[in-house]
Amino acid sequence: MEITPIAIAHNGFSEKFGIPRQSGCAPSVLTRIVFCPGFRSPEALRGIEDWSHLWLIWGFSANSPAHPSLPVEGESEGARAPHFSPTVRPPRLGGNTRMGVFATRSPFRPNGLGLSSVRLERVEKTATEGLVLLVSGADLMDGTPIYDIKPYLPYTDIHHDATAGFTSDAGDYRLQVEWGKGTKKGLSSALVRELTEILSEDPRPAYKDDSEQVYGITYAGWNIKFKVKDRHLIVLEVNNISDN
């Protein structure tokens, strides 16, 4: 069965590095969900304002192309199944411990599908794009295809007795963000808030812990360079990409 994107996500994340690893971790980040022309019927969104949160089903479109399909064991040559790695290395386990792919939220999955819970901020009526959803807390890159949208049901989607697997021992990985002198110049207060949330999530690879290493992320047309030392992230430099 083939699936078709119904919408495209648009926000300030032009690259994968720096995107929150889970939805809801950076609640100030706003994303516009713009429906594809064939799905812009206002009737399809009737009643959606009554929901505070939504589930987005989307595709990991920036991953490397999947490997060619391989024959299914015990089946004929014509029977094919997606090739995938049965184990992955979750960043929160240091990037060295392997776990089963279906026991993680790794982006490298057989069908490359993601699931995110987001807050619906409002529905915007536009002249050229029809009705657009403005959501917060999405962990998506700009241009991500959305395959389906469903309401979040608090009476059934919240499980108070849920266990958290290996993440129970992951601890608080958030960093204290410190802005260097003059680095906020030219940034709006809203953008500073968004970047602070994004950076506090520690965008570095989990196996990297070099206090002298300078990292950089790109967000909303700005390039932010930083270092991390003793759980403190220090913003060193902020440059407007359009000025380069």
145-195 per-position pLDDT tens digit: 999 999 999 999 999 999 988 777 655 678 999 999 999 999 999 999 999
Residue 72: per-residue pLDDT? 40
The helix or strand, by DSSP H or E, that contains position 193, with its residue range, turns out to be: helix 189-200
Q: How far is CA 77 from CA 67, 74, 80, 83, 93, in A?
A: 17, 9, 8, 15, 38
Q: What pTM was estimated for this model as a whole? A: 0.86
Pairing of strands 113-125, 131-136: antiparallel
Q: Tell the CATH topology of 172-243.
A: YaeB-like fold (3.30.2310)
Looking at the chain, the domain(s) classified CATH 2.40.30.70 span 7-63+108-157
71-111 per-position pLDDT tens digit: 444 444 444 455 678 998 887 777 778 989 999 888 888 88
Judge whether residue 18 has pLDDT over 70.
yes
Task: Give SS3 for 189.
Answer: helix
Residue 207: per-residue pLDDT? 61
Judge whether residue 242 has pLDDT over 50.
yes
199-234 exposure pattern, b = at least 16 Cβ within 10 A, e = fewer:
bbbbbbebeeeeeeeebebbbbebebbbbbeeeebb
Residue 63: per-residue pLDDT? 63
Residue 4: per-residue pLDDT? 94
Place of tokens 């064991």: 73
Taking the CA atoms of residue 91, residue 94, residue 97 and residue 98 in that order, the dihedral angle to the nearest 10 degrees is: 10
The CATH code belonging to domain 7-63+108-157 is 2.40.30.70
Pairing of strands 232-240, 176-179: parallel
Looking at the chain, the domain(s) classified CATH 3.30.2310.20 span 172-243
d(CA 69, CA 88): 19
Residue 94: per-residue pLDDT? 72
**Segment 127-149 mean pLDDT:** 97
Place of tokens 């516009």: 32
Residue 69: per-residue pLDDT? 39
Taking the CA atoms of residue 173, residue 10, residue 15 and residue 111 in that order, the dihedral angle to the nearest 10 degrees is: 80
Q: How far is CA 140 from CA 2, 5, 6, 201, 217, in A?
A: 22, 15, 15, 15, 15
**Segment 130-150 mean pLDDT:** 97
Q: Are 125 and 131 in contact (CB under 8 A)?
A: yes
Q: What angle do CA 223, 139, 209 make, to 5 degrees?
A: 60
Q: Which residues, 6+ apart, have CB-to-CB distance to 189 below 8 Å?
A: none
30-79 per-position pLDDT tens digit: 999 999 999 999 999 999 999 999 999 999 987 655 443 334 444 444 44
d(CA 206, CA 230): 14
**Segment 207-224 mean pLDDT:** 88
For residue 204 the two structure tokens come to 């570095």
**Segment 113-140 mean pLDDT:** 97
